[in-house]
A = this chain, B = another copy of it.
Amino acid sequence: MKKILNSKETLIEDMLTGFIAAEGKRVAQSSENSQVLFRKKKKAGKVGIVSGGGSGHEPLFFGLLGKNMVDAVAIGNFFAAPTPGTVLEAIKQADQGAGVICLFGNYAGDVLNFDMGVELAEMEDIKAYNLPITDDVASAGKEEQGERRGIAGDLFVIKEVAAAAAQGRSLEECLRVGESANQRIFSIGVGISPGTNPINGQKNFELADDEIEFGLGIHGEPGIERMKMLDAKSLVQRMVDKLLIELMLFEEKEVVVCINGLGATTHLELYTVNHEVDKLLREKNFNVYDTVVGSICTTQEMAGFSITAQVLTEELKEMYQMDAYSSCYFHKEDY
């Protein structure tokens, strides 16, 4: 395995120490639990925003700590959910007196541990709710939308709920925004070549040199179909077709788009993909309000990408438009 690390025993700790070394003006590490990082600035009466999940998907989730973004993150070991104790500590660090919402990708281990963390928080009189994000259309059908996995759609749902919290909205209002944001967001991914687990050196899946996996999950979960390599135009057409099935069900015709690289995929490819996505959505009379292109939700040095589209309501658009700053993502409406 060609990775520059110190040891498998210290790799999470080394990474987090290096993150705090870079971001220590704004972000701190909990003295109770080194796998909890939190934003230093607090605002009394604001709903707290927690995110988190297994390590290995960086810059998610700690990269979203910031202004009008995430207040605290609960970090798990490599590809492992954060423990209930870690979730509890993140909730405590995020709590500013108006309750806390935890936003994370919908995976069984995460749901279990976040649920336990929320229960522990209630015992300490902190009102907290979980909102698992379910954007991956390849992982379950429309009738089971709530069972879908969460992938790069995390970014927009978190951004919008965090904006509602920053506006001073109540816990119930923020939750309602989150549910709306999550019901209107759809992603589809493709795996091109595997990433390597830094603990055991194993690749997370295998593919022939001329194959790709359509609908692959971000931990290497099997997709819908293994297929021969396609050019960008043909592949993106198939992917967008899957998203359009969902997008066409809404009256609103305005979307925000994220083209997310899974690690090793170049910007040359990601922007080429965006060229095709943008064309196809406009052909179907969607107005693309904004587009984010980058590698935010990754799986080590895996090659591949996902396309996310979210249908905006007036309210979600207002949330999307709010300025936001974090180490791996910012939004500024005009510059």
Q: Could you tell me the distance in whole angstroms from the C-beta of A279 to the nearest C-beta in chain B?
A: 8
Residue A306 is within 8 A (CB to CB) of chain B in the complex: no
Complex partner residue of A231 from B2, B5, B55, CB under 8 angstroms: B5
- Across the A-B interface, the 7 shortest Cβ-Cβ residue pairs: A18-B275, A18-B271, A58-B267, A21-B278, A18-B274, A264-B264, A22-B291
Given contacts A5-B231, A5-B232, A266-B298, contact A21 B305 (CB under 8 A): no
B266 touches A301 (CB 8 A): yes
Residue A66 is within 8 A (CB to CB) of chain B in the complex: yes
A303 touches B301 (CB 8 A): yes
Binds B, one of A6-14, A123-131, A218-226: A6-14
Instruction: Give the distance in Å from the alpha carbon of A290 to the alpha carbon of B24 in the complex.
Output: 9
A268 touches B15 (CB 8 A): yes
| Residue in A18, A231, A279, A303 whose Cβ sees the most chain B Cβ within 10 Å | A18
Question: Which chain B residues lie closer than 8 Å to A263 at the CB level?
Answer: 264, 266
Question: Which chain B residues lie closer than 8 Å to A325 at the CB level?
Answer: 330, 332, 335
Residue A29 is within 8 A (CB to CB) of chain B in the complex: no
B295 touches A192 (CB 8 A): no
B3 touches A269 (CB 8 A): yes
A265 touches B301 (CB 8 A): yes
Instruction: Give the distance in Å from the alpha carbon of A322 to the alpha carbon of B284 in the complex.
Output: 42
- Starting from the known contacts A11-B272, A22-B291, 10 additional A-B residue pairs (CB-CB under 8 Å) come to A6-B231, A15-B267, A18-B270, A18-B276, A19-B271, A22-B271, A22-B292, A26-B335, A58-B266, A301-B303
Question: Which chain B residues lie closer than 8 Å to A3 at the CB level?
Answer: 266, 268-269
Instruction: Give the distance in Å from the alpha carbon of A234 to the alpha carbon of B15 in the complex.
Output: 16
Contacting B at CB under 8 A, from A1-60, are 2-7, 11, 14-19, 21-23, 25-26, 55-56, 58-59
A271 touches B4 (CB 8 A): no
Residue A182 is within 8 A (CB to CB) of chain B in the complex: no
| Residue in A6, A190, A230 whose Cβ sees the most chain B Cβ within 10 Å | A6
